[in-house]
A and B are shown apart, each in its own frame.
Chain A
Amino acid sequence: EDKVVQSPLSLVVHEGDTVTLNCSYEVTNFRSLLWYKQEKKAPTFLFMLTSSGIEKKSGRLSSILDKKELSSILNITATQTGDSAIYLCAVGAAGGTSYGKLTFGQGTILTVHP
């Protein structure tokens, strides 16, 4: 069975700190790894990674995939209170039994204090 594990489960930091969130996976026929941010209701898409070693960046957020280690990290630099949210890692697989299915980790709850 496909499995995604995130760490840490929760993190409390102060504004300006840099944080690194981890995601590891065991998935048959890996296709993609996605990061989402969930504040109140809908998870909002951050990144999709398919190739190992290529960093994706968006402002203060960046992410990289290591297919050899079956893992990914999400970095947030110069954190702000608006970064407080649950960060979800999800993995998609190839093949008919995987159509439309993302397997999610438990999420990391990030709290940024002023």
Chain B
Amino acid sequence: GESVGLHLPTLSVQEGDNSIINCAYSNSASDYFIWYKQESGKGPQFIIDIRSNMDKRQGQRVTVLLNKTVKHLSLQIAATQPGDSAVYFCAENMGAGGTSYGKLTFGQGTILTVHP
């Protein structure tokens, strides 16, 4: 999972395996969470989001789980492919009501490497 520090957590999986990336967020008042994927030298791309009134949301091959009791977020990627190799960031919106200016706080990131 993500943590404070200069060395990003890493996850190595085989192609076809399921991947789970974890994130601990900091503010119990955060009401909106996003997962981004960032490939080397590029800007982050949106993967999936979830509001705090939900505990699970599914997309195409991805699922986000939210556990507000322990302030934990996870991203599950099914049938991981080499193209999924990237750094994955979670972000939390600390504003009440998904505040319009959308100020996000980002986690440190997790490096996912998928081996063919």
A pairs with B: no
